């Protein structure tokens, strides 16, 4: 008897079939998939150029089957600016972690957002420097233990964590800024919606778009993948509330 | 085409457009800001991209992104700004990107001053950023030459897919001279950007513009690929000029840029006094005209070599290296924004010749 079969789930074409270098329980892979699915669905793969950061996701070009540039630490928004200004017909995205974007690259991200550069930033916030082995990031939570704040982050010594979505939403120019998470299926679906919206706005040449994604780092948080999910849910969301901080509004008279 | 009177900085800007520059990214800094002001008006007129960035750090990285598209892009700055660009220059050399960077030099170190200097020689020629790389460096001595070399820079950047620098002292940027732009500008054919730029993975494998090679064997291979290009530059891109070099010279002056022009005045004056001196002027500082200097300096009639700079014996190290100890190499330089006068250079030449100054010359 012939069996009718229908594929209901597959790897996006934009995502390469390769072995991952990310640690078990890290949610970079989920976020990669959401970006790849979006590029597939919007048919953008062949005219996309990504910009890789410095950090764990420096090798993200091994997974995305699109053209890529690899930026110096923190400078991805400047590269994206130069590229998109010369090729406004292409789709450009930066994929940056919290050390890259919120510390060494703070100048570049603020000014790119403020100029309204028409690219998309996928900002991965896991409250720690991953690749160098778990040092304090600008997003490390008060009291959170890292290798450079072994007694826990003392906000009297290093200040409060920086909330990037809120900070950039305070600027007049950027068009769409949303913070999402990927630690449960429901959150993953919401994150996908936000990422798709960001790339759609870019495709339609509307505005600067940034999606901040709260992500796990069990290796450097010192817990299991399951515990990491719980830690993110219980601690990170309190400090970094999810939601849309700036929504695109069509200018009047258009 | 008729000659026009133009300020150096504006002539450089116009020359870049004539060479087909499509993108210019900048940050204001004295004494090169006129390039930015000129292009803020002219770039949109020719359908190109003009963008003022938030810092030289960002501008150099915008250049990185812009060059990755395969289009002709450039920036101009002055010494402290060029220091901030070194990170991206190293990355762009590693990723083999064609960019043009023009440094209208002012005095340093630090914030220094805003007057003409040549004290970024080491930074430009020896590689101001980290890693095994070189930038091709050209140095004009007139506004006309600044025009010609600016246009050449774009061709060389594309030919080698490597950052190319033109370094001019503040005098070159600020003074006005009559210049002529070529009627038409044609270059030998180059590989199309489609073969290497990030143009979208349509009908081909995805392309990665990068300088990261975690495997040491791969990294060494990449450095050797770069080294091959630098060896080709040494073979094909040495540029230099001589002035009144003859069998009567006793001293050979080596100088570049504005300093070389001052030396020409000195040589003319000394000639009138019956003293024969020749000038060797490097135009390419990397590759440095080593063989050419060695040949001129070791002629039988040459007793010694005098290097004149608006910096503290930076180029002199390359002159000494070229001459390999076969002639004494003397140095005279002013720095910090002071341009040497013909009188003081003349005094140095006479000193080297051990000829007493004539008492008829006034002395301050």
Q: Are A96 and A35 in contact (CB under 8 A)?
A: no
ipTM: 0.96
> Residue B59: its chain A contacts at CB < 8 A?
78
Give how far B252 is from chain A: nearest CA, Å. 45
Q: Are B58 and A111 in contact (CB under 8 A)?
A: yes
Selected residue of A42, A53, A62, A86 to mutate for chain B interface (largest B Cβ count, 10 A): A86
| Residue B361 pLDDT grade (very low, low, confident, very high; cuts 50, 70, 90) | very low
For chain A, which residues make up each domain, given as ranges?
28-246
Over residues B64-74, mean pLDDT: 98
Nearest CA among A109, A113, A134, A110 for reference residue A55 = A134
pLDDT of residue A149: 97
| Residue A253 pLDDT grade (very low, low, confident, very high; cuts 50, 70, 90) | confident
Nearest CA among B70, B200, B110 for reference residue A50 = B200
Provide the percentage of residues in chain B whose pLDDT is more than 90. 93
pLDDT digits (tens, 9 = 90+) for A25-72: 999 999 999 999 999 999 999 999 999 999 999 999 999 999 999 999
How many contacts does A have with B, using Cβ atoms within 8 A?
131
Over residues B11-29, mean pLDDT: 97
| Residue A1 pLDDT grade (very low, low, confident, very high; cuts 50, 70, 90) | low
pLDDT of residue A254: 58
pLDDT of residue A20: 96
Bond before B72 cis per omega within 30 degrees = no
| Average pLDDT of chain B, as a whole number | 95
Give the global pTM: 0.95
Cβ-proximal residues to B59 (8 Å cutoff; 6+ apart), any chain: A78, B25, B26, B27, B53, B75, B77, B85
B240-353 folds as: Rossmann fold (3.40.50)
Give how far A122 is from chain B: nearest CA, Å. 18
Chain B contact for A40, CB < 8 A?
no
Mark out the alpha helices in A44-183 (DSSP H runs).
Answer: 76-86, 98, 106-115, 155-158, 164-169
Tell how far CA A223 is from the center of its chain. Answer: 22
Q: Are B316 and B307 in contact (CB under 8 A)?
A: yes
Q: Are B198 and A83 in contact (CB under 8 A)?
A: yes
CA gap B330, B348 in Å, rounded: 9
Chain B residues with a Cβ under 8 Å from any Cβ in chain A: 22-23, 25, 49, 51, 53-55, 57-59, 61-69, 71, 73, 87-88, 91, 95, 198-203, 206-212
In this structure, what token pair is assigned to residue B348? 């140095």
Q: Are B21 and B187 in contact (CB under 8 A)?
A: no
| Residue A154 pLDDT grade (very low, low, confident, very high; cuts 50, 70, 90) | very high
| Average pLDDT of chain A, as a whole number | 97
Domains B4-183+212-236 and B240-353 belong to one CATH topology: yes
Give how far B206 is from chain A: nearest CA, Å. 5
User: Does A245 have pLDDT greater than 90?
Assistant: yes
CATH tag for B4-183+212-236 (out of 3.40.50.1820, 3.40.50.970, 3.40.50.300, 2.60.40.420)? 3.40.50.970
CATH tag for A28-246 (out of 3.40.50.800, 3.40.50.970, 3.90.1170.40, 3.30.930.10)? 3.40.50.970
Over residues B33-60, mean pLDDT: 98
> Residue A78: its chain B contacts at CB < 8 A?
53, 57-59, 61-62, 64-65
| Residue B262 pLDDT grade (very low, low, confident, very high; cuts 50, 70, 90) | very high
Q: Are B159 and B190 in contact (CB under 8 A)?
A: yes
For chain B, which residues make up each domain, given as ranges?
4-183+212-236, 240-353
Q: Are B68 and B161 in contact (CB under 8 A)?
A: no
Over residues B82-98, mean pLDDT: 98
């Amino acid at each position: 008897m012939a069996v009718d079969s229908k594929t209901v789930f597959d790897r996006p074409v934009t995502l390469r079939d390769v072995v991952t270098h990310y640690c078990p329980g890290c949610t970079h892979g989920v976020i990669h998939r959401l970006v790849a699915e979006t590029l597939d669905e919007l048919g953008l793969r062949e005219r996309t150029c990504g910009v890789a950061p410095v950090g764990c996701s420096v090798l993200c070009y091994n997974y995305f089957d699109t053209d890529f540039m690899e930026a110096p630490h923190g400078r991805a928004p400047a590269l994206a600016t130069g590229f998109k200004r010369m090729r406004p017909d292409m789709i450009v995205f930066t994929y940056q972690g919290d050390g890259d974007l919120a510390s060494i690259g703070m100048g570049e991200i603020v000014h790119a957002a403020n100029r309204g550069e028409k690219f998309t930033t996928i900002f991965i916030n896991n409250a720690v420097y991953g690749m160098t082995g778990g040092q304090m990031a600008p997003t490390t939570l008060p009291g959170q233990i890292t290798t450079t704040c072994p007694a826990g982050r003392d906000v009297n010594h290093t200040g409060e964590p920086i909330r990037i979505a809120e900070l950039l939403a305070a600027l007049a120019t950027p068009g769409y800024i949303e913070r999402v998470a990927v630690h449960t299926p429901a959150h993953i679906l919401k994150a996908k919606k936000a990422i798709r919206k960001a790339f759609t706005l870019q495709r339609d040449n509307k505005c600067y778009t940034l999606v901040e994604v709260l992500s796990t780092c069990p290796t450097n948080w010192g817990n299991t993948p399951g515990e990491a999910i719980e830690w993110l849910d219980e601690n990170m969301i309190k400090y970094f509330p999810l939601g849309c901080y700036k929504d695109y509004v069509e200018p009047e008279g258009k | 085409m008729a000659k026009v009177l133009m300020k150096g900085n504006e002539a450089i800007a116009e020359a870049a457009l004539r060479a087909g520059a499509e993108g210019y990214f900048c940050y204001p800094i004295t004494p090169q800001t006129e390039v930015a002001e000129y292009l803020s008006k002219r770039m949109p007129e020719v359908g190109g991209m003009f963008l003022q960035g938030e810092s030289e750090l960002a501008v150099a990285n915008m250049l990185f992104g812009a060059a990755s598209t395969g289009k002709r892009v450039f920036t101009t700055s002055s010494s402290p700004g060029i220091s901030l660009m070194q990170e991206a220059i190293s990355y762009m050399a590693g990723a083999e990107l064609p960019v043009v960077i023009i440094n209208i030099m002012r005095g340093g170190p630090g914030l220094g001053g805003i007057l003409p200097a040549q004290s970024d020689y080491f930074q430009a020629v020896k590689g101001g950023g980290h890693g095994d790389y070189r930038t091709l460096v050209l140095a004009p001595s007139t506004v006309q030459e600044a025009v010609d070399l600016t246009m050449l820079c774009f061709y060389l950047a594309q030919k080698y897919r490597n950052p190319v620098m033109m370094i001019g002292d503040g005098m070159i940027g600020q003074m006005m001279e009559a210049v002529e732009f070529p009627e038409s500008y044609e270059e030998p054919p180059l590989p199309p950007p489609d073969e290497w730029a990030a143009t979208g993975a349509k009908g081909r494998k995805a392309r990665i513009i990068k300088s990261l090679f975690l495997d040491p064997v791969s990294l060494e291979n990449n450095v050797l690929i770069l080294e091959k290009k630098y060896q080709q530059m040494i073979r094909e891109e040495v540029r230099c000029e001589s002035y009144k070099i003859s069998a009567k010279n006793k001293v050979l002056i080596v100088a570049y840029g504005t300093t070389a022009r001052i030396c020409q005045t000195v040589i003319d004056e000394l000639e009138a006094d019956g003293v024969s001196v020749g000038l060797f002027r490097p135009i390419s500082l990397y590759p440095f005209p080593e063989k050419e200097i060695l040949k001129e300096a070791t002629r039988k009639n040459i007793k010694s070599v005098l290097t004149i700079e608006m910096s503290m014996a930076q180029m002199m190290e390359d002159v000494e290296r070229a001459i390999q100890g076969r002639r004494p190499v003397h140095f005279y330089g002013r720095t910090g924004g002071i341009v040497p006068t013909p009188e003081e250079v003349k005094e140095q030449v006479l000193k080297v010749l051990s000829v007493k100054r004539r008492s008829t010359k006034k002395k301050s």
